[in-house]
Amino acid sequence: MKTDLEIQTENISGLIYFIRGEKVVLDFDLAIRYEVQTKNLNLAVKRNISRFPPDFMFRLTKSEWNSLRLQIATSNSKGGTRYLPYAFTEQGVAMLSGILNSDRAVQVNIAIMRAFVQLRKFLETNKELALKIEALESTVSGHDESIHLIFETIRALMEKKNEPREPIGFNSPPPYQ
């Protein structure tokens, strides 16, 4: 049996997808990590369905599944899947630890919860970066008008360059005659 550290190295964050605006893990990915068959995982969920409201778990639509299959490059013959997969949110994964009573399930859930936290921190960091870029853009956009005015002035001066100018300097009056 793998240790908690080994499970963490399985790149669990790569199993988290954004579907319907939620971060989710699919049932077959969870089953692989829990080392159970997908149908057994889903049977355990169905026996405890009251623990899984729609914000904890939902079944993918056919179009969502087809779109996701293109992203994760699975074939049509993924183990002869007859049913559309379930998607578990972070709360749904946490609820699974209550119905799957094995050491493996506990270790996997800890690793998945850490992956969700890591992803949340990453998204928060990107949000801060996006806000800084937005502030920089607003600062620079205020300068656009000034820069445009400078270029207009330079162009006007370049056009006047070809026009005859009055002599510059001190002109003494003609001597008395």
**Three-state SS annotation for the chain:** CCCHHHHHCCCHHHHEEEECCEEEEEHHHHHHHHCCCHHHHHHHHHHCHHHCCCCCEEECCHHHHHHHHHHHCCCCCCCCCCCCCEEEEHHHHHHHHHHCCCHHHHHHHHHHHHHHHHHHHHHHHHHHHHHHHHHHHHHHHHHHHHHHHHHHHHHHHHHHCCCCCCCCCCCCCCCCC
Residues 6+ apart with CB under 8 A from 55: 89, 91
Flag whether pLDDT at 168 surpasses 60.
yes
According to DSSP, the β-strands at 16-19 and 86-89 are unpaired
pLDDT tens, position by position, 82-141: 789 999 998 888 888 778 877 777 777 788 888 878 877 877 777 777 777 777 766 666
pLDDT tens, position by position, 75-97: 454 444 678 999 999 888 888 87
Mean predicted confidence (pLDDT) in 48-58 = 92
Measured CA to CA, the distance from residue 107 to residue 34 in angstroms comes to 9
Query: Which CATH number does 4-129 carry?
Result: 3.10.260
Residues 6+ apart with CB under 8 A from 105: 34, 96, 97
Q: Where are the domains of the chain?
A: 4-129
Residue 9: pLDDT band with limits 50, 70, 90: very low
Q: What's the pTM value of the predicted model, to 2 decimals?
A: 0.58
Flag whether pLDDT at 164 surpasses 80.
no
Flag whether pLDDT at 22 surpasses 80.
yes
